[in-house]
Structure 1
Amino acid sequence: MVPEPDTPMIEALGLAKNYGAFAAVYPVTFAIPRGQVCAFLGPNGAGKSTTMKMLTGYLAPSQGAARIAGYDVSAQRLEATARLGYLPENGPLYADMTPLASLRFFGRARDIHGAG
Structure 2
Amino acid sequence: MKPLLITIVITIIGLLLVGGLFYWFQFRPTKIKHGCSWVKMHSDAIPARDGMTEGELKEKGLLKTCPSPPPSLLDQYISNKCEVQNQDIIDANKHQEYVPAKDWYREATPQEYSFCLHDRGM
- Answer whether TM exceeds 0.5 for this pair: no
Q: Which has the larger radius of gyration?
A: 2
Give the number of the structure with larger relative contact order, counting CA–CA contacts within 8 Å between residues 6 or more apart.
2
Q: Hey, which of these two has a bigger chunk of strand by percent?
A: 1
Q: TM-score, normalised by structure 1?
A: 0.21
Q: Hey, which of these two has a bigger chunk of helix by percent?
A: 2
